[in-house]
Amino acid sequence: MADEIEIDARDVGEALVAAMAEGGIDHLFFSSGTELGFYQEAIAKARALGRPAPRLITMTHEYVGLNAALGYAAVAGKPAVTSAHVDVGTQHHGGALHTAWRSGLPVIMTAGAPPTAAPGTVRGGRDSAHFWTQQTYDQNGIVRQFTKWDHRLESQDNPGLIVSRAIQVARSEPCGPVYLSLPREVVYAPLGKTRFATAAQLGIPRPAAPDPDGVAEIAERLVRARNPMIVAGSGRNPAEVPALVELAELVGAPVVQCAWHSYLSFPMNHPLYQAKRSVADADMVLVVEADVPWVPGPNGPGRDAYVAVVGIDPAKHRIPTYEFAADIRLASDPLSALRALEGKHPIDPRFVSWQIARMLDDNALVIDDTTHDKIFPYLRVARPGSYFHNPGSAGGWAPGAALGAKLAASERDVIALTGDGFYMYATPTAALWAAVRYGAPYLTVVYQNRSYTTSTVTVANSYPNGYAAKLDFDGGYLDPAVDFAKEAEAAGAYGETVRDAAEVGPALRRGLEQTRAGKPAVIAVWLARLMHED
């Protein structure tokens, strides 16, 4: 772990600003006040000395300032800081406090606090009449119902550490606003050398992973459902949108917008998008990160429908009364849950075939050296001259055939499909070497189940409960498995082995991009062994 940050600060206020910069804060939405001048001085000094500091954005009203910080956090995907003038400026946040609390966005709200030190005793003490009238019993209490964390900076505090802690809490899921009040005489106090841990060093929690048993239960219900529907409320993380598209397309489920939404959770031009509509006819409803999935009543799910709720806070503890029923509530970062639901371990070969089919277009030319029932039904190839299967029974046809096909049709994307047994028969390095030498890059997808069908499934069919089965089909498995990715790299090609279902589609697309850039590629997808519990 890296050492703590050490700085030489003129005063506490300078340390606060330095900690903000170290914590990744690059925008401060600033409203002026007699106790907030330290922000201007510290930021100006940092700029003059070439040190990192937030950009100061002058705001003439705190309500707009907080909303601006929320908008910045929503689009930039990083926290922002606001400043408010003591209690009155804090109250100027108004309805934006409610928005911040419901937004799920990381915002660090700071506010000056009037000094209580007697006149002439310390720098920043009471030196004007209004400081007496600004004092309240609990300034932080103005916003406490709308924040995850609040703190009043005290003279004994390590200022840099307090800022790092504020950022840490704001960025921890479920993200939300925090509030830090800053008494004038404390921020103006001289400091000198100080050390503090950054927010990253304190540690920002990783997104929660879903319970595997819960994922399996939801996945089974989705597959078995006759009329599944998805209620979408996610989208704060843009990566959740394509993940939800993949899941919806995989199970053929229409996607309904939740009753109260804040983000684009599903493409509005997608044929599965149903906007806001009833889910009463669904026999399985998957709710993804939605505070209010539907308005209770006739448009809600029927009595017999299975309802699954997935989200960072699936019980919605920030809402005091919550009457929505569910058969299962799965606490998880939406992206992790969606990726887990898209596939299973080990990967099913039909899922690989479906992912390949999604990648194909009219420019694709497929060389198929696999069994038809696992591949052919998924390809949906339409252009004449775009699909060729091994015309004989000698396995190992695909790599050489793909090389020849690419030489004959250099403008097309040539994709070879093969199992690992046939691939090993093919002496693939010779074909890859020639593809590199003659500029004929093609993509090979290897279904790596580490098994011979003839020596496992066929034997089991011929000798049910036979001795070979009892000895775990000795001679039926390719153990130890060959690392086809490294073998490809040795021949000058791109190689990748995929063991996670969520990575199958991205890996295939990466391989195709490599071939389009002039380099042959091999994507080996790790599957379960035949007739074996992996």
Q: What is the mean pLDDT of residues 240-267?
A: 91
Instruction: Return the pLDDT at 533.
Output: 65
Helix axes 12-22, 37-48, angle to 10 degrees: 60
- Report the distance separating Cα 458 and Cα 381, nearest Å: 30
C-alpha to C-alpha distances, 388 to 107, 237, 343, 368, 413, nearest whole angstrom: 57, 41, 28, 6, 14
Instruction: Return the pLDDT at 393.
Output: 85
Look at residues 313, 342, 371 and tell me which one is the last residue of a structural domain.
342
Q: What is the mean pLDDT of residues 299-321?
A: 94
- Report the distance separating Cα 434 and Cα 450, nearest Å: 26
Angle at alpha carbon of residue 371, lines to 368 and 376, rounded to 5°: 65
Residue 373 has pLDDT above 90, yes or no: no
pLDDT tens digits, 105-138: 999 999 999 999 999 999 989 988 888 999 999 9
Instruction: Please choose, from the candidates 206, 219, 513, the residue with its C-alpha nearest in 3D space to the C-alpha of residue 359.
Output: 513
- Does one domain contain both 450 and 353? yes
CB 498 within 8 A of CB 525: yes
Q: Which residue's entry shows tokens 């069919």?
A: 461
- Does one domain contain both 174 and 238? no
Residue type, 176: G
- Report the distance separating Cα 189 and Cα 204, nearest Å: 30
Instruction: Return the pLDDT at 142.
Output: 97
pLDDT tens digits, 327-360: 999 999 999 999 888 775 568 888 888 889 989 9
CATH number at residue 198: 3.40.50.970
- Does one domain contain both 335 and 381? no
- Does one domain contain both 157 and 42? yes
CB 318 within 8 A of CB 101: yes
pLDDT tens digits, 492-532: 999 999 998 878 999 999 999 999 999 999 999 998 877 66
pLDDT tens digits, 55-110: 999 999 999 999 999 999 999 999 999 999 999 999 999 999 999 999 999 999 99
Instruction: Return the pLDDT at 452.
Output: 79
pLDDT tens digits, 142-187: 999 999 999 999 999 999 999 999 999 999 999 999 999 999 999 9
- Report the distance separating Cα 287 and Cα 301, nearest Å: 11
- Work out the percent of the chain whose per-residue pLDDT is above 70: 98
Of 48-57, 184-193, 462-471, the poorest mean pLDDT is in: 462-471
- 531 part of a folded domain: no
Instruction: Return the pLDDT at 346.
Output: 65
Residues listed for the chain: 534
Instruction: Return the pLDDT at 173.
Output: 93
Instruction: Please choose, from the candidates 362, 356, 361, the residue with its C-alpha nearest in 3D space to the C-alpha of residue 378.
Output: 356
- Does one domain contain both 368 and 514? yes
Q: What is the mean pLDDT of residues 42-59?
A: 96
Q: How many Cβ atoms from other residues are within 10 Å of residue 457's Cβ? A: 15
Instruction: Return the pLDDT at 522.
Output: 98
Look at residues 297, 316, 342 and tell me which one is the last residue of a structural domain.
342
- Does one domain contain both 235 and 358? no
- 207 part of a folded domain: no
Q: Which residue's entry shows tokens 């922000």?
A: 39
Instruction: Return the pLDDT at 531.
Output: 61
- 454 part of a folded domain: yes
Q: Which domain holds residue 255?
A: 212-342
In a 3-state reduction of DSSP, which class is residue 254?
Answer: coil
Q: Residue 301's beta-bridge partner residues?
A: none
Burial class (CB in 10 A: 0-12, 13-18, 19+), 325: exposed
Q: Kindly tell me the sign of the dihedral angle through the C-alpha atoms of 148, 80, 338, 259.
A: positive
- Does one domain contain both 108 and 223? no
Instruction: Return the pLDDT at 372.
Output: 60
Instruction: Please choose, from the candidates 511, 504, 509, 505, the residue with its C-alpha nearest in 3D space to the C-alpha of residue 489.
Output: 511
Name the DSSP class of 347.
B
Instruction: Return the pLDDT at 450.
Output: 85
Q: Report residue 27 as tokens.
A: 């925008």
- Does one domain contain both 35 and 86? yes
Instruction: Return the pLDDT at 3.
Output: 86
- 53 part of a folded domain: yes
- 533 part of a folded domain: no
- Does one domain contain both 320 and 414? no
Residue 377 has pLDDT above 90, yes or no: no
In a 3-state reduction of DSSP, which class is residue 257?
Answer: strand
- Does one domain contain both 235 and 266? yes
Residue 446 has pLDDT above 80, yes or no: yes
Instruction: Return the pLDDT at 460.
Output: 77
Q: Report residue 283 as tokens.
A: 């026999």
- Report the distance separating Cα 473 and Cα 477, nearest Å: 8
Look at residues 319, 342, 365 and tell me which one is the last residue of a structural domain.
342
Question: What is the band of 47 on the pLDDT scale with cuts at 50, 70, 90?
Answer: very high
CB 30 within 8 A of CB 58: yes
- 259 part of a folded domain: yes
CATH number at residue 249: 3.40.50.1220
Mean confidence (pLDDT) of the chain: 92
Name the DSSP class of 118.
P
User: pTM of the predicted model, to two decimals?
Assistant: 0.73
Residue 486 has pLDDT above 70, yes or no: yes
Q: Which residues of 330-354 are buried (b: 16+ CB within 10 A; e: fewer)?
A: bbbbbbbbbbbbbbeebbebebbbb
The total of structural domains in the chain comes to 3
Instruction: Return the pLDDT at 496.
Output: 97
Q: Which residue's entry shows tokens 């806001």?
A: 276
- 28 part of a folded domain: yes
Q: Kindly tell me the sign of the dihedral angle through the C-alpha atoms of 457, 462, 464, 470.
A: negative
Residue 277 has pLDDT above 60, yes or no: yes
Q: Kindly tell me the sign of the dihedral angle through the C-alpha atoms of 341, 342, 347, 351.
A: positive
Q: CA torsion angle for 114, 118, 119, 120 (degrees, to 10)?
A: -120
Q: Which residues, including other chains, have CB under 8 Å from residue 388's CB and lie 6 or more apart?
A: 365, 366, 367, 368, 401, 405
Residue 418 has pLDDT above 70, yes or no: yes
Instruction: Return the pLDDT at 11.
Output: 96
Of 95-99, 430-434, 456-460, the poorest mean pLDDT is in: 456-460
- Does one domain contain both 307 and 432? no
Instruction: Return the pLDDT at 415.
Output: 97
Q: How many Cβ atoms from other residues are within 10 Å of residue 533's Cβ? A: 6
Instruction: Return the pLDDT at 186.
Output: 96
Instruction: Please choose, from the candidates 396, 392, 461, the residue with its C-alpha nearest in 3D space to the C-alpha of residue 422.
Output: 396
- Does one domain contain both 264 and 169? no
- 410 part of a folded domain: yes
Instruction: Return the pLDDT at 475.
Output: 80
CB 372 within 8 A of CB 389: yes
